[in-house]
Structure formats: C-alpha cells, structure tokens
Copies of this chain bind each other. A is one copy, B any other.
Amino acid sequence: MHALTDMDMEERLRRSGLRPTRQRIALAELIFAKGDRHLTVEELHEEAVTAGVPVSLATVYNTLHQFTDAGMIRVLAVESNRTYFDTNTSDHHHFFVEGSNEVLDLPHGDLTIANLPTPPEGMEIAHVDVIVRLRRKAH
C-alpha cells in the first residue's frame, strides 16, 4: 500500500515537472495524506522529522516553493511574518483564529461575493481571498 502511494506521488510529481526524489515524495505524501491542510514550513519540517524523514529545513522551504510554482499548493497570506501553505488550490476561503493562529477552511458554498469591482485598466483578477478573522468570544 505504501509502495502504491509512492508510485502515485512519483507520477504526480513527474506530471508537475518535478523529479520525484525521496524528500519530495515524502513531503508530498505528508502534505496530501490528510486532505486539505494549512501548514507552516516549521510544522511540516517537524512532521517529516517525526515521520523518520530527516529532511533539512532549507529543503522544506525549497520544496514547498517548488510545489507552489508547480501549482500543487498555494501560499496563504493570513498573517505577516509567517507563511502558510494551503494544500487545496481550488477556490475557497478561510477562517483565521486569532491567538492560536489556526487556519480553517470556510464551509464552502455558503459564502458568495457580489459586485466585485472592475479591476483598474490593464489588470485582471488573479484571485480573491476572503479571510474571516475569529476571536474567542467573551463569555
């Protein structure tokens, strides 16, 4: 079963134009194993090390950027000073929990945006990000 997953991941990486190296395969499996995820470089690095894949922090950075360039994941700008990567590249939006700095997918379908302004001349909309910032309710 593990071999099969590796093969799938190899294929996926290859289709994205990336050589399926040990580290890339391992990171991709960690990233895509559990559905949509929002993670920081630090988190993924720790996961990898814990999972027995002693990849370096620099490689995690490089790999995540390569995945991003390949369109496999997306960068989330929810907070200055910390880069979050989103394993779901489709159109959806996010909750951001202040304090715990958690990112959650918004239940999709619910939210709709009406009357998006026309972009300035010569510009087009690349993406619309909606971030719903949450705080713990005063009891």
Q: What residues make up the interface of A, taking CB atoms closer than 8 Å to B? A: 75, 77-84, 95, 97-98, 104, 106-107, 110-117, 119-120, 122-137, 139
A131 to B113, CA, bound (A): 12
13 A–B contact pairs at CB < 8 A?
A: A77-B77, A77-B80, A79-B80, A81-B81, A81-B83, A95-B120, A110-B115, A110-B116, A112-B114, A113-B114, A125-B132, A126-B134, A127-B133
Q: Judge whether B117 and A106 touch: CB under 8 Å.
A: yes
Q: How far is the CB of A60 from chain B (nearest CB, A)?
A: 15
Residue ID in chain B nearest A130 by CB atoms: B130
Residue ID in chain B nearest A114 by CB atoms: B112
A80 to B80, CA, bound (A): 5
Checking B80, B124, B129, B131 against A82 with a beta-carbon cut-off of 8 angstroms, the contacting residue is B80
A121 to B13, CA, bound (A): 39
Most buried by B among A75, A130, A132: A132
Checking B110, B116, B132 against A132 with a beta-carbon cut-off of 8 angstroms, the contacting residue is B116
Residue ID in chain B nearest A97 by CB atoms: B123
A126 to B130, CA, bound (A): 13
